[in-house]
Structure 1
Amino acid sequence: MKFFTHYTCVRQSYCLNKLLLIMKLTLLLIVALNFQLFAAGYAQSRVSLDLKSVDFKRVASEVEKKTKYRFLFGEFKIPTKRFDVVNAQNEEVLTLVTRLLEGTSFTYRHLENDLIVIVPKITENLRALITGKVLDETGQPMVGVTIKIKGVEKGGSITDANGAFRIDAPGNAVLTIAYIGYITQEIVVGGQETLTIRLKPSAGNLTDVVVVGYGTQRKSDVTGAISSVNSSVITRAATTDATGALQGQTPGAVVVKNVGKPGSGYSVSIRGTSSFTGANSPLLVIDGIPTTSGLNDINPADIEKMDVLKDASATAIYGSRGAKGVVIITTKRGKAGKTTITYDGYLGSRRPNNLPEFFDATEYRTFLEEQYLRGRGATAAVLNALPSYASSNTFTDWPGLVQQNGLQMNHNLAVSGGDDKTRFSFGAGLLREEGNVSPEDFKRYSFRGSIDRTINNTFKAGISFYANQNLQNLGSSEALRSAYRLPATISPNDAAGNPVFRVLGADGVTNPLFDQLNDLRENRNYRMFGNLYLQVDPLKNISFRTSLSPNFYRSRNGTFFDIESKEGAGNGSYRAGTYTTGEQLTLVWTNQLTYERTFNNVHKITATAVSSVQNDRSETGSISAYNLPFRSLWYNLGSATNTDPNGTFRGPTVTSNYVRFNLVSNVARVNYSFRDKYLLTVSGTADGSSRLSEGNKWGFFPSASLAWRASEETFIKNISAISNLKFRLSYGKSGNDRVNPYDTQATLGSSSYYFGSILALGYSPNRLANQNLTWETTKEINFGIDFGFFNNRISGSVDMYDRKIDNIIGNRPLPPPAGFSSVLDNLGKLRNRGLEVGLNTINLKLGKFTWMSDFVLDINSNKVLETANGQKDDLGSLLFIGHPVLVNYDYEFEGIWQTSEAALAASYGQRPGQVRVKDRDGNGVINTNDRQIIGKRIPSWTGSFGNTFKYGNLDLYVLLYTRQGEQFNSSFDGGFKNYNQVYNQLKVDYWTATNPSQTNFQPGNPGPFVNAIYYQKTNFLRVNNVTLGYTFPKKLVEKVRLSSVRIYATANNPLLFTDYQGFDPEWASQNTYGTAISTSTYLFGLNIGI
């Protein structure tokens, strides 16, 4: 067990057990606190009284003392009736108030936070003009706030540029004041004619708006499984790729950091593995523009929120593109009100972390002697034949020569504002992320903007655009690996102090300092996308919107290997370069018609019809040239002679490609609500894809979902402990057409041959057509519960799902007589079942101190139901019926053969010190029949536990993240723990005659089953994020003409607990073998609002 911190843990496994114990106790404390709140909440909804000769005000005072309820009386509007006796035995407070007000001219309104407002009974016909102003939490006027009379569909008012409104309402009316992103308030008029209302920002309440695809819904009205992450969470994560903000925050989404090079980003899968090949990327929809290329091009500071659509009822509206989940990204737009300018930036250091320990010079010499002793016999001649560097007195820290602390900085400037007619938002960003191995580097320049215009009551129009440039220097793929492979006994310089290229002589490992200078890889990517829309509201309740969304991407990538680099030496010691270009243009034209109406304040219907056409075109080209006469990198490949050192002409390699496809989608969806309690959503999507063959181009993907808001029922409303309770049930079907556009057609390949003495070009089939290839489909049933207790002090959701994937697209193996090795076909079935839990709690509120927690658990079970062989296992593809799709099928490691077991080892043809594997059938012979499933390469469960502590203006957030149940054959172990080479090795306890290790074999004596020792569990627990911030008091910042100032410090990945031997267990599956290292980042940030 590794425990990476600033102090030493002697008993490392004890440290992890202690940490897990602390987590369990913390969770137990949270549960205990909240159950105590439950008991208290239940008790405080009832009251017992025995009073004599009292008025109503005295009764109210006694109730306030004994319960959580508070009373509010209008001026001169206190019931004067006296009561001879008031007797109540464990009576509901609201029932008591109703009883006491009977026969009076008063009634009451029960508002949020258990506030009881006593108001006079006023007839409906007595109306008055009510004026007022709506302010935000800072006291600034709010524009565009909606004011309506509760229960009345028609009419209402909207605040103007000064936050003012006017509305004609009955004296006993209740006004609802609503604005996106703020808590909806209900105000009892109670005869008042002038109101001043302050709205507070929402914190995940039921009035939050969720993007559901071609529309939005209140969170309380959602019937599918959808999770959301807002801008504050994205900003706090301080990642260069917004996908990283989903890690540990979204049940059902497994987010994995790619190899630790700058700008490498993240990958995400939703609800398990859904293919045989491991392609699980969800559809990304950025401001209505579909893409699967990831979010590394998008500045996280430009994102307002991300909504993750998980179940098939939510994703089915995207038809053929939604089978693997959908992530909808909404960028920031302008809001009516005062023009604001904001700055958000941080500066910090990216540092190597979790570095494995290798042999130092002394330990390496001992190891090398062991290897030679075992492999060649313990003679004096053999020991004298050790390489000269084995006895060298040199102590070189090779990793230290190439590793560095990298600079990380991010600067974002934004301006937004507008009025009730025009709203605008613009932003610019600059990011730089230096790598931990020079010259690795990543830079991103971004600019965005949006303008929305309300032309009149009928027409609205708007435009949004986004542009960015990414510059990525990947550096050398060999420098870091070579630095860890080189023994500390070797110097980078010769006796004269000159750098040496081949420090190990003729061996393949070269001086990594040369690779850093001469092995170059650069990517330059440009992306521009936008959305232009026009919305027409021709009739009441009817809206039509048409939009055009272009998405343009261009890449310019180059590689160069000079003579003195490992790659250059491998190419025959001459310079080589490759230049690759690519362009992609996607156009999406969408037309949407929406009808929305409420009947009798009971039935609410929203019907949506969408027609969308997507056209995608891409071009790529590449040229590779050899034997460049000078260091021209890849900018002057025309100067290459294209001959090897022997003068043989190799010729430049030139490739090009052009791809085009279309997708047509027709969507219909109906949302129905009865009394805001019973909810139904039905949708159907018909997609036509040019990727598939004639007769299979069209697919239909229906879905239906139901929800019951039980907390709106009268018999539950009176249970004060329940703030929200909703049950959801859904079923849906979605598709997948992610094959290359021409994969259903046969293609020809060219090859050259000599016809006599003439070089001729010929063509032959290189791919077999499959005109029967059809849609891969996903059918899913989902049951979910959304809940909130004690005024949402405990809130969250639980989802259980069963997802079945049919007609999985993959390559079906063919027998040799077919002339082709495989054909693309529909060849199997998978099932994913799982449980998702998201829990948020307010554990403690004491004066200025608040402690809140968030907990996420994701359990997934994956099984193969059918392979290309039907109900039989497919051993060639390692697919086994009833087991996960990604398994390790090999011999099971049983330790190391010991000296006392020499006779038994000999019966298996082995010796002490060698790797021992399990004789599964016990027949005394180890053969392929002894191979078995020994692990899986997908997690059994992931989880996170976050805690927020606030005291006044000071806040602290700590997020723990864990992933459990995976096992990988470690290329890191295989490369750095093989003991058969002269390279340096991982510092481990290897077997010798005097040190009978059971975990690592004897140097030079691995035996025939050494691969079995390289399987490692990659379970880990990580401190993912620690952020400490301070928000300056508003009165103080206003003195310098600012609206807000916040400073913060963030640490990402500061601690890691794992048994994995390697840089980072999170990306163990990527077989990096020392090409990148894991890192921690330490940042200091500043937010300013003007």
Structure 2
Amino acid sequence: MQISLFQLVLAIALAGVSFAHSSNGQALLDRRVTVTSENQPISTVLDQIEREASVHFLYSPQLVQASRRVTYRSTNQKLAVVLAQLLKPLQLDYEVKDQQIILKRQVARSTSMLMPETDEPAVATVNPVDQTITGKVTTNTGETLPGANVVIKGTTRGTSTDANGNFTLSVPDGNVVLVVSSVGFLPKEVAVNGQTTINVSLESDVQALSEVVVVGYGTQRRQELTTAVTSVSSKAIERQPVAGFDQALQGQAAGVQVTSPTGAPGAGINVRIRGNNSISLTNSPLYVIDGVPVLPTYDRELSIGNQRPNPLNTLNPNDIESIDVLKDGAAAAIYGLRASNGVVVITTKRGKTGKAQVSFSAYYGVQQLRKKIPMLNSQQFAQYYNDAQTAAGNAPAFTDINALTTNTDWQDAVYRSAAIRNYQISLSGGTERTKYYVSGAYFKQDGIALNSGFDRYNFKLNLDQQMGNRFRVGTSLNLSKTSNNGSVRSELGPGNSGTVLGALAQIPTIPIRNASGTYSINPFQQFDNPVGNLLETRNRANIYQAIGNVYGELDILKNLTFRSSLGLDFRSQIENEFITRDYPGTQNANPANRGSARTGTNQQVIWLWENTLTYNPELGDKHNLTLLAGQSVQESDRFTSGASVSGFPSNAVPYLSAGTLFSAPFSYQDQWGLMSYFTRAIYNYDERYLATLSLRADGSSRFAPGNRFGYFPALSLGWRMARESFFPKDAALSDLKLRASVGANGNQEIGAYDRFSTYSSGRNYFNGTSVVGGIAPDRIGNNALSWETTVQYNAGVDLGFFKDRLTLTLDAYLKQTTGLLTNVPLPLNAGAQSPQITQNVGDVQNKGIELGINSTNIQSEGNGFNWSTNFNFTLNRNKVVNIGTLRNDQGEEVDRVIIGDYTVTQKGAPLGAFYGYVMQGIFQSTGEIAEAATQPGQPKPGDIRFADLNGDGVIDANDRTIIGNPNPKFIAAITNNLTYKGFELSVFFQGSFGNDIYNQNRTVIEGMSDPLNQTTAVLNRWTPTNTNTNIPRAVRYDPNQNNRFSTRFIEDGTYVRLKNLTLAYNLPSAFLQRIKVGSVRAYVTAQNLLTFTKYSGYDPEVSADPFSSVGFGRDFGVYPQAKTYTAGINVTF
């Protein structure tokens, strides 16, 4: 209740006859309230407390400067604590009278306190020579601090900072002292001393400020967390010029490994939290976007040139407020059956009470190929190929090497400098009852390869409406349209349309086009022209997506809240491809068959309905309890179809109807459902002893009715020793908390109908008189299938030093995944076309250590030099504990081994282990060959000698062994942020250490057996006059199989990368005040600026099979990473 100054004085006088904090008043002050305020006027915060605590405030808006803005958070705290934390920085006190709380100034030191803050002339005497002070208030980490109070010491004359931390204040003379304060920060006094610009940095008040973390169906203060949760701020995301937020996660959180396996615009990102858990199912985490769970799936049936689009790219990174990564089993258990790989909770920006704020941001940049691979020129290629021909007993292909005049650099022809740009505008604000956030954005990224790119349109709307005192409604909606040009084929081998590999392997002795204008091709071997491949392929995939929900909240009782939400994840993908008649790979084909087109659609609708009850009972002074109970129903319906045709008479009509040779179309539909119940209790005693207990039950339609429900419990405990009376108060160690947890999660990501047997038509048979059509089993089902279960144990410690200027978080974990869903062989007489069955067989283990350090290294007053550092380190060890058994030819039961094209899955080995031959050097003479184990192909001097590991005297498949590990020994990242007088510098390094890469490209471009271009490394190949080398001879057709998968092609994938370098300048607040602009920040950024590695390929951050559970770390024709330079500006009004 707002009252006049006279009424306030009268109320205080009447209240003076009774003791202000009587027993009734004490009961009132013991009431518990939850308050959340983001840059809101103090009057709005007081109104919120009135509703929560059923009290009434009496105050004068002029006296307390009710328009001042504050940022404050408190969860289930006593009213007395809230008032102390909220009012003390504002230099306010209070008295209690019955159910009324009367606000007043702490000490009245000057008659100027009676001067109202209005537009009318002040009553008090004002020095006519006032001077204007401008400045900015920031945190000790350099972030702007809105709503901070700047008051002349000894008076109530002051102001508050705007949304960007800027303030303007008139002072009577140049010798006054300013008191700068903000809720959650320690106040600071600054002498003016004639200065006209004063910038102030406030240090966090550890006792008053506690970061709020989203933990799934609720929030917790970080000080009360008992699980492993890492938060990533919006600023860390926004500074990187990337298409998706998942790319910006790289290096931001301990325990989270993020790799960009390909540099193709819009392509998928590989995110792993604490290692790989599954052999055949997804290892990607569950994403929860504003309460809507999204599990990214990269569907192969609509792959775009084998560049599957990233479904997470539909979200605009600039709309994100925070990202919280739930890493351990206890934190993720509330999401049950889908959380075995961890959970990433994304909260988007919402409106705040106050004036409307318009923000505009834009950047433009240039991308370039990070490095070129050195290849042979025309003369060098001709000499190499002549040597290969001669070694095979053939005539040389080039009679006069020096006469060659064409020297095409195919890398220069395929790659280009490409633009990247982003534009966004947003409007946010609100009243006490209505808050809104609206944004629109456009992002476009041209690929560094010809005819490739990605663009996106976004619209974002978040609304929150207070309906009366007890009911709230709102919505979160994200609409997007993305378009991916996937003309580049980056994962296909030679002899077809592998354009990335083609840019390396195509020979330099031919031009891009012939004199007739047609594309030239390799005269020795059919190998497509990479430029023609790109320009004559038109492949476009448009994805329309809507993710959001609507909700209603009702305060049934004072501490009991019911929430119901209805969510939607709608996705429609439409893909069209047309390959023209001029495509190089079909130039020699029958003209009637040239030209092809295909189209495909994939539409999925996922509905989600969730209901929760949250209860915060009042249990006394030191007991704090939050109870949650909820129910969730989710349903999915997906329909996919496609068709293709070839034989186009011309390129004029690139549609199916113009083709003449039709292939059989396809279509299918799948549906699944999930019904869930969950509960959680969060308890702490005096913020010292902490406990969280949760349980989720999930029933999935993917499993048989008798095996449908899974139960996922979790328990976590914490002891905040810093709250104990024996903990030293003034020691270097300022905070200490111990944590321990255990939790179970599941993985259900099999196909919707994988438990069923399937049948195929077209299996004709003879009935004795004629051939008739029939069907036969294709795959044998299994109603005993169940989910994979992951149980994770975690122990952690949180430390703070020097009043938390240095904080350290250390976690150790053990994660056991059991019941792996794998294909087990069946006897041939089982009757199925596919002689295998899916069963729950096998276990995988991950264990590791995570370390996160945040430090404020240098902190200066005002506009001085500030320096902070963030560092994280992750060590993870992965191994297969069990993969089942089988009987060998002797009838003995032995451990099962799954051998892939270049990997092995076996007991004791890490997932994805490379499996091949061991190279032992180069044969130098026929004598060495005679003494060595027999190798097929009649080896000659200059061929590779392979190790006979089983000692049987023959080199064959039984001599293969584990020759590499694609899993890094550890990953690390470090970010340094420096600020000085409006300038900002951010330097971000990240790296991967100890992982191996299978560089399969070298089997083609260093194979020295085909008429394809080679790298300059082959200039050191073995010849009779150059024997001191580890590179074999050149010989056509490779009779010794020198190019078989061996240690020859395994390389060290260790790298350290300057991932992001940003230099920014914030225009001075005094200048901005004159032009009526809130803030202007201009910046330049370099992404992937420097990479330090021994890897010989384009980039060590690579994988030709990025979403395979066991087949990662292979480089084969993968679209290279780009180096990016951008310049941008952020403006708020």
TM-score normalized with structure 2 length: 0.78
**Residue type at the aligned position of 1:199:** S
Aligned residue number for residue 609 of structure 2: 589
2:941 is equivalent to residue 927 of structure 1: no
2:565 is equivalent to residue 638 of structure 1: no
2:885 is equivalent to residue 865 of structure 1: no
How has the CA–CA distance of structure 1 residues 278 and 533 changed in structure 2, closer, same or farther, with 3 Å as cutoff? Answer: closer
**Residue type at the aligned position of 2:621:** N
Aligned residue number for residue 992 of structure 1: 1023
Query: Which of the numbers 222, 225, 241 marks the counterpart of 2:244?
Result: 241
Contact 2:280 2:821 in 1 (8 A): no
> 1:1049: Cα distance to partner?
0.7
Gaps (5+ residues) in structure 1?
Answer: 1-126, 643-650
Aligned residue number for residue 1117 of structure 2: 1074
2:69 is equivalent to residue 142 of structure 1: yes
Query: Which of the numbers 1060, 1076, 1085 marks the counterpart of 1:1050?
Result: 1085
> 1:557: Cα distance to partner?
0.6
Distance of 1:575 and 1:487 partners within structure 2 = 25
> 1:815: Cα distance to partner?
2.3
Aligned residue number for residue 313 of structure 2: 296
How has the CA–CA distance of structure 1 residues 229 and 905 changed in structure 2, closer, same or farther, with 3 Å as cutoff? Answer: farther
Query: Which of the numbers 895, 912, 921 marks the counterpart of 1:886?
Result: 912
Gaps (5+ residues) in structure 2?
Answer: 1-55, 107-138, 160-179, 186-202, 297-310, 490-496, 887-893, 1106-1113
Distance of 1:726 and 1:472 partners within structure 2 = 48
SS of corresponding position for 2:895: coil
Query: Which of the numbers 798, 801, 807 marks the counterpart of 2:813?
Result: 801
Contact 1:500 1:511 in 2 (8 A): no
How has the CA–CA distance of structure 1 residues 258 and 390 changed in structure 2, closer, same or farther, with 3 Å as cutoff? Answer: farther
Aligned residue number for residue 604 of structure 1: 624
How has the CA–CA distance of structure 1 residues 745 and 974 changed in structure 2, closer, same or farther, with 3 Å as cutoff? Answer: same
Distance of 1:521 and 1:148 partners within structure 2 = 52
Aligned residue number for residue 440 of structure 2: 428
Aligned residue number for residue 697 of structure 1: 708
**Residue type at the aligned position of 2:841:** L
> 1:245: Cα distance to partner?
1.5
* 1:840-877 deviation per Cα after TM superposition (whole angstroms, max 9, x unaligned): 12223356112222111111111111113287141446
2:1096 is equivalent to residue 1061 of structure 1: yes
> 1:697: Cα distance to partner?
0.4
Moved more, 722-731 or 817-826: 817-826
* 1:799-824 deviation per Cα after TM superposition (whole angstroms, max 9, x unaligned): 10000001011211222222332111
2:535 is equivalent to residue 517 of structure 1: yes
How has the CA–CA distance of structure 1 residues 815 and 1061 changed in structure 2, closer, same or farther, with 3 Å as cutoff? Answer: farther
How has the CA–CA distance of structure 1 residues 446 and 201 changed in structure 2, closer, same or farther, with 3 Å as cutoff? Answer: farther
Aligned residue number for residue 544 of structure 2: 526
Contact 1:410 1:432 in 2 (8 A): yes
Aligned residue number for residue 18 of structure 2: none
Distance of 1:212 and 1:948 partners within structure 2 = 28
**Residue type at the aligned position of 1:664:** M
**Residue type at the aligned position of 2:1016:** K
> 1:555: Cα distance to partner?
0.5
How has the CA–CA distance of structure 1 residues 149 and 514 changed in structure 2, closer, same or farther, with 3 Å as cutoff? Answer: closer
Distance of 1:604 and 1:632 partners within structure 2 = 72
Aligned residue number for residue 688 of structure 1: 699
**Residue type at the aligned position of 1:608:** L
Moved more, 546-555 or 969-978: 969-978
Aligned residue number for residue 347 of structure 1: 364
Contact 1:148 1:157 in 2 (8 A): no
Aligned residue number for residue 86 of structure 1: none
Moved more, 871-880 or 306-315: 871-880
SS of corresponding position for 1:213: coil
> 1:629: Cα distance to partner?
2.8
**Residue type at the aligned position of 1:351:** Q
Distance of 1:531 and 1:454 partners within structure 2 = 17
Aligned residue number for residue 1034 of structure 2: 1003
> 1:167: Cα distance to partner?
5.2
* 1:83-127 deviation per Cα after TM superposition (whole angstroms, max 9, x unaligned): xxxxxxxxxxxxxxxxxxxxxxxxxxxxxxxxxxxxxxxxxxxx9
Query: Which of the numbers 582, 597, 608 marks the counterpart of 1:564?
Result: 582
Query: Which of the numbers 386, 394, 407 marks the counterpart of 1:395?
Result: 407
Residue correspondence of structure 1 range 747-766 to structure 2 within 5 A: 747-751=758-762, 762-766=774-778
Distance of 2:537 and 2:588 partners within structure 1 = 12
Contact 1:149 1:156 in 2 (8 A): no
The alignment yields a C-alpha RMSD, in angstroms, of: 3.5
Contact 2:583 2:595 in 1 (8 A): no
> 1:731: Cα distance to partner?
0.4
SS of corresponding position for 1:695: helix
How has the CA–CA distance of structure 1 residues 147 and 408 changed in structure 2, closer, same or farther, with 3 Å as cutoff? Answer: closer
Aligned residue number for residue 507 of structure 1: 525
Distance of 1:951 and 1:368 partners within structure 2 = 60
Query: Which of the numbers 979, 982, 993 marks the counterpart of 1:950?
Result: 979
How has the CA–CA distance of structure 1 residues 652 and 134 changed in structure 2, closer, same or farther, with 3 Å as cutoff? Answer: farther
Distance of 1:624 and 1:570 partners within structure 2 = 21
Aligned residue number for residue 836 of structure 2: 822
Contact 1:976 1:985 in 2 (8 A): yes
Distance of 2:959 and 2:873 partners within structure 1 = 36
> 1:279: Cα distance to partner?
2.4
Residue correspondence of structure 1 range 535-574 to structure 2 within 5 A: 535-566=553-584, 568=586, 573-574=593-594
SS of corresponding position for 1:983: coil
SS of corresponding position for 1:1065: coil
2:637 is equivalent to residue 617 of structure 1: yes
Distance of 2:391 and 2:243 partners within structure 1 = 50
* 1:240-295 deviation per Cα after TM superposition (whole angstroms, max 9, x unaligned): 11001111111111101131111114120111010113621110110111111242
How has the CA–CA distance of structure 1 residues 414 and 961 changed in structure 2, closer, same or farther, with 3 Å as cutoff? Answer: same
How has the CA–CA distance of structure 1 residues 601 and 238 changed in structure 2, closer, same or farther, with 3 Å as cutoff? Answer: farther
Aligned residue number for residue 676 of structure 1: 687
> 1:564: Cα distance to partner?
2.6
How has the CA–CA distance of structure 1 residues 186 and 1036 changed in structure 2, closer, same or farther, with 3 Å as cutoff? Answer: closer
How has the CA–CA distance of structure 1 residues 542 and 932 changed in structure 2, closer, same or farther, with 3 Å as cutoff? Answer: same
* 1:916-961 deviation per Cα after TM superposition (whole angstroms, max 9, x unaligned): 2223345544334432212112222111122122222111111111
Aligned residue number for residue 63 of structure 1: none
> 1:143: Cα distance to partner?
6.7
Distance of 1:828 and 1:408 partners within structure 2 = 46
How has the CA–CA distance of structure 1 residues 928 and 959 changed in structure 2, closer, same or farther, with 3 Å as cutoff? Answer: same
SS of corresponding position for 2:989: strand
* 1:404-434 deviation per Cα after TM superposition (whole angstroms, max 9, x unaligned): 1100000111110002111000001100000
Residue correspondence of structure 1 range 68-147 to structure 2 within 5 A: 141-142=68-69
Distance of 1:484 and 1:950 partners within structure 2 = 44
How has the CA–CA distance of structure 1 residues 621 and 387 changed in structure 2, closer, same or farther, with 3 Å as cutoff? Answer: farther
**Residue type at the aligned position of 2:657:** G
Aligned residue number for residue 385 of structure 2: 368
> 1:524: Cα distance to partner?
0.6
**Residue type at the aligned position of 2:611:** N
Moved more, 670-679 or 753-762: 753-762
> 1:181: Cα distance to partner?
11
SS of corresponding position for 2:977: strand
SS of corresponding position for 1:238: coil
2:648 is equivalent to residue 628 of structure 1: yes
Contact 1:313 1:732 in 2 (8 A): yes
Aligned residue number for residue 771 of structure 1: 783
2:923 is equivalent to residue 897 of structure 1: yes
Aligned residue number for residue 266 of structure 2: 263
Contact 1:389 1:490 in 2 (8 A): no
Contact 2:933 2:948 in 1 (8 A): no
**Residue type at the aligned position of 1:308:** V
Aligned residue number for residue 833 of structure 1: 847
> 1:964: Cα distance to partner?
1.9
Distance of 2:403 and 2:800 partners within structure 1 = 70
How has the CA–CA distance of structure 1 residues 309 and 149 changed in structure 2, closer, same or farther, with 3 Å as cutoff? Answer: closer
2:138 is equivalent to residue 211 of structure 1: no
Aligned residue number for residue 724 of structure 2: 713
* 1:961-982 deviation per Cα after TM superposition (whole angstroms, max 9, x unaligned): 1112222332211221111111
